[in-house]
Chains A and B, each alone.
Chain A
């Protein structure tokens, strides 16, 4: 009995030792210019604390943004600064032997949604979201990514999408949706084109859409139909999400993003349109060129940018009186703060609803809903995630809105849970759904549909 325990102890010790060595090695490999600048710059002023929704909810030191990243900085100080090597306690330098991998994993995966709100508020200008991802990268190489997140990444890498939806399943769903669309617009020529070579726009999905929220696909198809867009969906490479961005696994992120890029090139599309999903937009628009080491010959656009173009160009018309109840807007961190898509959603909503109310603060200062950072896939942190959503819930309540427009499927999931927990009494919708409801269908095609129907009749 005792022998077994001893052997267990020894094994744990050896594993810890191996982890320490690997951590050191990874840290050394990982030091880039940006990382070195950031870990040297925090002045420990603490001004970032109440910009974090975790700190606001829990009011505990461990949720101060600078406190989280100090774990990484303290390692850097220990091995890469003169005082840290000689008098570590003086500068708070800590060696790997003092680092608890479990604690670090909790801090960077479970207690931070990488929302970057602290980065906007840091008195110096430290991008803490970036530092957290650097720490996640090290942990990913040590196989410490929480199970739920890792399996989402694995599914995407092995099956082509993060919900393992087969091609047959997707085609079946889209065919059914196409029939629904035709009924809705009363035009049998309305299509959801699949794998169309030469289409102008390749539209991508979040696998949650075909699986749980098919109405959001019909909504976009209806908008494309009304705008007379030349578009298509790939039946094999349709998943816009990239959870490897969250897990810190650049190799997997490259594989996932690379497939969509290749598909866009194969089909010859000029625009890769990203569904309403914050991290998908960020990954494809901003990170993928760096992961793949090349500039793209096509544009990556959020579907919101296309919708706004259609309205501006008069390709679609909207009746805002359809939505008379107050509607507010949630700004997903990766779309807005890290993505720079800030005004088009406001432009669209002002055209599509008659009573648009801003949340405060908004745009790049908006509070994270708490569902980012891959947290929705990590069930072990679910309770904390919902607690941390309190700031968002209060923000929504203050607007008095009954509908929350959220251009991100991850955020919608979190907002639905916050709705239950904080009894907000709201409905959450994508912007596409709101626009689709307010569409005034082009009479040209409605008339021809009626004509062809009467001919058949």
Chain B
């Protein structure tokens, strides 16, 4: 028998997955205009570009200009994925190996610091504040809380019930608020890549190859 906290967290995860799948299906059922113009470039090349080259910090003016924020965002997201990985691992792990303790803590702390920095930036930069709603602050804080309990669990060498309770809130909130961008951003990025890839604007090998088509 699973302890209650663990069972609840798995229930919340199931809810999260079902809700995201439902949204995905809803979106897939919306009307969609197929592009009939003869392509100049390749849509798939644009998608590959969107998930590889476009992520490099120097590939976009916005990430170069705001390098610190961009990198902080990357670290914050990577350590969130790591915390999720820990969550799954926690069901199997009897004791936390020392190497995971060390490197995991480092990763989680980097994420915590970066996330906190981004939160402060959101609070204190007027133009960012004008774009933000309570959901934006709460989502950031919730992820931070998840990172924090993950780190505490790693340090303690065991996963206490509050780790799973925070996971419950995290999974329940994910499809409802801003955190659902976890799903939609991937989709949006693919749409972006295929749109500009088809038009020959984004190309892995430079635009020259696609001219004349």
Residue of A32, A45, A126, A288 near B192 (CB, 8 A) is A126
Residue positions of B touching A, CB distance < 8 A: 26-28, 30-38, 40-41, 50, 54, 60-63, 65-66, 69-70, 73, 125-128, 130-136, 138, 176-178, 180-181, 184-185, 187-189, 191-193, 195-196, 199-202, 207-208, 210-212
User: What is the CB-to-nearest-CB distance from A209 to chain B, in angstroms, rounded to a whole number?
Assistant: 25
Q: Is the CB of B37 within 8 A of A34?
A: no
Residue of A61, A82, A344 near B176 (CB, 8 A) is A82
* Given A92-B135, A343-B207, A47 and B63 contact (CB-CB distance below 8 Å): yes
- Other A-B pairs beyond A44-B178, A46-B125, A91-B178, 10, CB < 8 Å: A34-B191, A37-B187, A37-B188, A41-B185, A49-B127, A90-B177, A92-B133, A123-B70, A295-B38, A337-B201
- Bound-complex Cα distance A62 to B56 (A): 29
Chain A residues closer than 8 Å to B40, beta-carbon distance: 340
The number of chain A residues with a CB under 8 A from chain B is: 67
Residue of A41, A47, A67, A294 near B36 (CB, 8 A) is A294
Using a CB-CB cutoff of 8 Å, which residues 60-112 of chain A contact chain B? 61, 64, 66-67, 70, 81-83, 89-92
Q: Is the CB of A363 within 8 A of B207?
A: yes
Chain A residues closer than 8 Å to B33, beta-carbon distance: 32, 34, 290
Could you list 17 examples of A-B contacts with CB < 8 Å?
A: A32-B31, A34-B191, A41-B185, A45-B73, A46-B131, A47-B70, A50-B65, A90-B134, A122-B62, A124-B189, A124-B192, A125-B188, A290-B37, A305-B211, A340-B199, A340-B207, A342-B201
Using a CB-CB cutoff of 8 Å, which residues 347-385 of chain A contact chain B? 361, 363-365
Q: Is the CB of B136 within 8 A of A44?
A: yes
Question: Which 8 pairs, one residue from A and one from B, show the smallest C-beta to C-beta distance?
Answer: A125-B192, A92-B133, A340-B200, A289-B36, A121-B62, A41-B188, A61-B130, A340-B199
- Bound-complex Cα distance A44 to B63 (A): 15
Chain B residues closer than 8 Å to A286, beta-carbon distance: 37, 199
Cβ of A120 within 8 Å of any chain B Cβ, yes or no, is yes
Chain B residue at minimal CB-CB distance from A118: B62
Chain B residues closer than 8 Å to A167, beta-carbon distance: none
Cβ of A127 within 8 Å of any chain B Cβ, yes or no, is yes
User: What is the CB-to-nearest-CB distance from B54 to chain A, in angstroms, rounded to a whole number?
Assistant: 7
- Bound-complex Cα distance A351 to B210 (A): 20
- Judged by DSSP, the binding face of B is helix
Chain A residues closer than 8 Å to B36, beta-carbon distance: 289-290, 293-295
Q: Is the CB of B28 within 8 A of A66?
A: no
Cβ of A18 within 8 Å of any chain B Cβ, yes or no, is no
Q: Is the CB of A89 within 8 A of B134?
A: yes
* Given A33-B30, A46-B128, A123 and B207 contact (CB-CB distance below 8 Å): no
Chain B residues closer than 8 Å to A341, beta-carbon distance: 211
Chain A residues closer than 8 Å to B66, beta-carbon distance: 47
- Bound-complex Cα distance A120 to B199 (A): 13
- Bound-complex Cα distance A139 to B193 (A): 28
Chain A residue at minimal CB-CB distance from B139: A43
User: What is the CB-to-nearest-CB distance from B200 to chain A, in angstroms, rounded to a whole number?
Assistant: 4
- Bound-complex Cα distance A324 to B65 (A): 36
Cβ of A193 within 8 Å of any chain B Cβ, yes or no, is no
Chain A residues closer than 8 Å to B38, beta-carbon distance: 289, 295-296, 299
Chain B residues closer than 8 Å to A441, beta-carbon distance: none
Chain A residues closer than 8 Å to B180, beta-carbon distance: 40
Residue of A124, A293, A344 near B185 (CB, 8 A) is A124
User: What is the CB-to-nearest-CB distance from B31 to chain A, in angstroms, rounded to a whole number?
Assistant: 5
* Given A41-B187, A61-B130, A125-B188, A47 and B69 contact (CB-CB distance below 8 Å): yes
Chain B residues closer than 8 Å to A337, beta-carbon distance: 201
Residue of B27, B31, B41, B211 near A37 (CB, 8 A) is B27
Cβ of A38 within 8 Å of any chain B Cβ, yes or no, is yes
* Given A70-B131, A124-B188, A337-B201, A51 and B207 contact (CB-CB distance below 8 Å): no
Residue of B63, B177, B208 near A123 (CB, 8 A) is B63
Cβ of A450 within 8 Å of any chain B Cβ, yes or no, is no
Chain B residues closer than 8 Å to A309, beta-carbon distance: 212
- Bound-complex Cα distance A296 to B191 (A): 24
Chain B residues closer than 8 Å to A126, beta-carbon distance: 188, 192
Q: Is the CB of B185 within 8 A of A33?
A: no
Chain A residues closer than 8 Å to B65, beta-carbon distance: 50
Q: Is the CB of B192 within 8 A of A127?
A: yes
User: What is the CB-to-nearest-CB distance from B69 to chain A, in angstroms, rounded to a whole number?
Assistant: 7
- Bound-complex Cα distance A287 to B195 (A): 12
Q: Mark interface residues in A281-305 (1 if CB within 8 Å of B CB, else 0).
A: 0000111111001111001000001
User: What is the CB-to-nearest-CB distance from B134 to chain A, in angstroms, rounded to a whole number?
Assistant: 5
User: What is the CB-to-nearest-CB distance from A41 to chain B, in angstroms, rounded to a whole number?
Assistant: 4
* Given A40-B184, A343-B208, A289 and B37 contact (CB-CB distance below 8 Å): yes
Q: Is the CB of B60 within 8 A of A64?
A: no
* Given A45-B73, A127-B192, A32 and B30 contact (CB-CB distance below 8 Å): yes
Cβ of A219 within 8 Å of any chain B Cβ, yes or no, is no
Residue of A45, A70, A339 near B69 (CB, 8 A) is A45
- Bound-complex Cα distance A32 to B29 (A): 9
Q: Is the CB of A123 within 8 A of B62?
A: yes
Q: Is the CB of B176 within 8 A of A31?
A: no
Chain A residues closer than 8 Å to B134, beta-carbon distance: 89-91
User: What is the CB-to-nearest-CB distance from A283 to chain B, in angstroms, rounded to a whole number?
Assistant: 11
Q: Is the CB of A46 within 8 A of B127?
A: yes
Using a CB-CB cutoff of 8 Å, which residues 291-335 of chain A contact chain B? 293-296, 299, 305, 309
User: What is the CB-to-nearest-CB distance from A34 to chain B, in angstroms, rounded to a whole number?
Assistant: 6
Chain B residue at minimal CB-CB distance from A296: B38
Chain A residues closer than 8 Å to B126, beta-carbon distance: 61
User: What is the CB-to-nearest-CB distance from A219 to chain B, in angstroms, rounded to a whole number?
Assistant: 22
- Bound-complex Cα distance A294 to B37 (A): 8
Chain A residue at minimal CB-CB distance from B129: A61
Chain A residues closer than 8 Å to B136, beta-carbon distance: 44
Q: Is the CB of B131 within 8 A of A64?
A: yes
